[in-house]
């Protein structure tokens, strides 16, 4: 009789928000970037994907994925590339040791939950692909380290490769045509600079202008500013940013973060036809951060925007009142100010803020998320697939 065992492995994975942005592909099929990028991994106490990968010879259906209780296709070229790479690494282990169960030949049943909105510009694809790859690698007992797995995750979604590590993470663009040197590495663990915090201002926009994948390809094709960014500016910034992190120099960290976000959005505007990711609410958030920094007499807050209007604002714990406290002074009515750890944030109106900036933010922000630097994926024993193979969705 065929092996009826249900094999299971589960993991959590974090979101990451880049301070030097990945934007542009040199090879769309292998998902290789035109430039290196660097991100901060955010705490899973606040934003987290949990994924269980299971497989069994007794499963009669094809590979499947249930995301937040809804079936999702695995039939995209990118997901297929990830599954193929993981299966072939498992098949190599099975070939070398005939005692191993032939998991590589069994259908996969994957169940995943995001504890935050999917496809709302909160980097769900990064946490989602990192969790998917880590869970299957655990299931297959692959001897791969996070950098090895980042090569696979990168093919699912570029930014996902950085979510295999906690702390401060670089994705090295690499030079090889086959992508074998385009991988994520740890720049510093979360424990090196644990005081890093972030407040995310979630803008109430519906769908983004153009998706990242499509948007960056159009930028590479049409922007005249882009080659300068990718070939000259970003390589310099990567080095400066690594130094700022090594020496825990927040002012340098902040300046480079804001300049890189602005430079990235400038290439979006220089794309033809132009792409607009930031909106009036985003620009009001920029002005508010400038007011905070002006009042403090130095950069204590740093904004950054991905391919959407949400603002992510980094600051150090010691400046929580000055930064998050100012936003709380006029956004206290919206959800998200409950603090899980530490003390509740005191609303502070120490910074003089133009009334029109506050009212634009009041109108445009639907929710805040308070978070900070955090750890990478964690293996867990709480499975989302039962011992008999059913999805556990509640
Ligand atoms: N937990 C998950 N497991 C597997 N795939 C996921 C998971 N979460 C999200 N995804 C994939 O990522 C897609 C959403 O990616 P998309 O880039 O549209 O949004 P986002 O990552 O939330 O936003 P952004 O890229 O702008 O930050 C989903 O449609 C799904 O295919
Ligand atoms: C602006 C960004 O968030 C772009 C992220 O792009 P994706 O990783 O979503 O793109 P694909 O590789 O095509 O899936 C910047 C960043 O995270 O570095």
Are 175 and 246 members of one domain?
no
Helices (H), ranges, the chain: 77-96, 124-139, 146-156, 212-222, 226-228, 234-246, 250-269, 280-296, 320-331, 355-364
Are 165 and 201 members of one domain?
no
Is 275 domain-assigned?
yes
Decide whether any atom of ligand 1 lies within 6 Å of the 120 Cβ. Answer: yes
Last residue of a domain, one of 189, 211, 226: 189
Is 388 domain-assigned?
no
Polymer length of the chain = 394
CA of 125 to the centre of ligand 2 (A): 9
Exposed, middle or buried by CB within 10 Å (0-12, 13-18, 19+), for 60?
exposed
Are 32 and 161 members of one domain?
yes
pLDDT of residue 393: 79
pLDDT of residue 206: 63
CA of 213 to the centre of ligand 2 (A): 7
Are 237 and 353 members of one domain?
yes
In which domain, by residue range, is 45 found?
A: 7-189
What proportion of the chain, given as a percentage, has pLDDT over 70?
A: 97
Residue with tokens 């994520």: 184
Are 60 and 121 members of one domain?
yes
pLDDT of residue 207: 63
pLDDT under 70 in the chain at which residues?
1, 204-208, 340-342, 394
Is 204 domain-assigned?
yes
Last residue of a domain, one of 139, 171, 189: 189
Decide whether any atom of ligand 1 lies within 6 Å of the 112 Cβ. Answer: yes
Angle at 157 between CA 46 and CA 224, to 5 degrees: 110
Spatial CA neighbour of 131 closest among 117, 106, 119, 114 = 114
Spatial CA neighbour of 104 closest among 95, 112, 117 = 95
Are 285 and 314 members of one domain?
yes
Q: Which atom of ligand 1 is nearest to the CA of 308?
A: 26
Decide whether any atom of ligand 1 lies within 6 Å of the 123 Cβ. Answer: yes
3-state secondary structure of 191: helix
Q: In what order do the strands lie in the sheet with 301-304?
A: 301-304, 311-316, 196-203, 365-372
Is 390 domain-assigned?
no
For 26-41, b/e burial (b = at least 16 CB within 10 A) is: beeebbbbbbbbbbbb
Spatial CA neighbour of 309 closest among 120, 38, 159, 162 = 120
Q: CATH number of the domain at 27, please.
A: 3.30.230.10
Q: What is the pLDDT of residues 235-293, one digit of tens each?
A: 999 999 999 999 999 999 999 999 999 999 999 999 999 999 999 999 999 999 999 99
Is 381 domain-assigned?
no
Instruction: Report d(CA 314, CA 322) in Å as an integer.
Output: 12
Are 69 and 215 members of one domain?
no
Looking at the structure of the chain, the number of domains it has is 2
Is 251 domain-assigned?
yes
Decide whether any atom of ligand 1 lies within 6 Å of the 132 Cβ. Answer: yes
Exposed, middle or buried by CB within 10 Å (0-12, 13-18, 19+), for 76?
exposed
Q: What is the pLDDT of residues 308-350, one digit of tens each?
A: 999 999 999 999 999 999 999 999 999 899 876 667 888 887 7
Are 232 and 278 members of one domain?
yes
Are 210 and 250 members of one domain?
yes
Last residue of a domain, one of 131, 164, 189: 189
Structure tokens, 256:
């480079």
């Amino acid at each position: 009789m065929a092996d009826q065992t249900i094999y299971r492995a589960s993991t959590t994975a974090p979101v990451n928000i880049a301070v030097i942005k990945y934007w542009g592909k040199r090879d769309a099929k292998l998902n290789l970037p035109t430039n290196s990028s660097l991100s901060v991994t955010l705490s899973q106490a606040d934003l987290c994907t949990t994924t269980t990968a299971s497989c069994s010879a007794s499963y009669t259906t094809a590979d499947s994925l249930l995301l937040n209780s809804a079936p999702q296709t695995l039939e995209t070229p990118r997901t297929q590339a990830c599954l193929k790479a993981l299966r072939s690494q498992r098949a190599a282990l099975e070939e070398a040791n005939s005692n191993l169960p032939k998991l590589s030949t069994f259908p996969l049943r994957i169940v995943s939950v995001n504890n935050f909105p999917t496809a709302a510009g909160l980097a769900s694809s990064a946490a989602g692909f990192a969790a998917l790859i880590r869970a299957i690698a655990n299931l297959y007992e692959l001897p791969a380290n996070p950098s090895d797995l980042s090569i696979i995750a990168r093919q699912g979604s570029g930014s996902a490769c950085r979510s295999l590590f906690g702390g401060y993470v670089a994705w090295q663009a690499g030079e090889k045509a086959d992508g074998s040197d385009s991988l994520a590495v740890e720049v510093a663990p979360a424990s090196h600079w644990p005081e890093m915090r972030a407040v995310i201002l979630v803008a109430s926009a519906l769908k983004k202008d153009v998706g990242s994948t499509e948007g960056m390809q159009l930028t590479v094709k049409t922007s005249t500013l882009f080659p300068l960014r990718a070939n000259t500016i970003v390589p310099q910034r990567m080095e400066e940013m690594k130094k700022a992190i090594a020496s825990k120099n927040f002012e340098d960290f902040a300046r480079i973060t804001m300049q890189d976000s602005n430079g990235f959005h400038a290439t979006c505007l220089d794309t033809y036809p132009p792409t607009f990711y930031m909106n009036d609410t985003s620009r009001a958030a920029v002005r508010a951060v400038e007011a905070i920094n002006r009042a403090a007499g130095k950069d204590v807050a740093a904004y950054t925007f991905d391919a959407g209007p949400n603002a992510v604002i980094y600051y150090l714990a010691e400046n929580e009142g000055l930064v998050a406290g100012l936003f709380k002074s006029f956004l206290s009515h919206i959800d998200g100010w409950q603090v899980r750890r530490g003390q509740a944030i005191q609303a502070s109106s120490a910074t003089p803020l133009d009334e029109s900036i506050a009212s634009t933010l009041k109108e445009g922000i639907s929710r805040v998320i308070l978070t900070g630097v955090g750890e990478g994926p964690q293996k867990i024993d709480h499975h989302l697939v039962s011992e008999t193979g059913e999805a556990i969705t509640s």
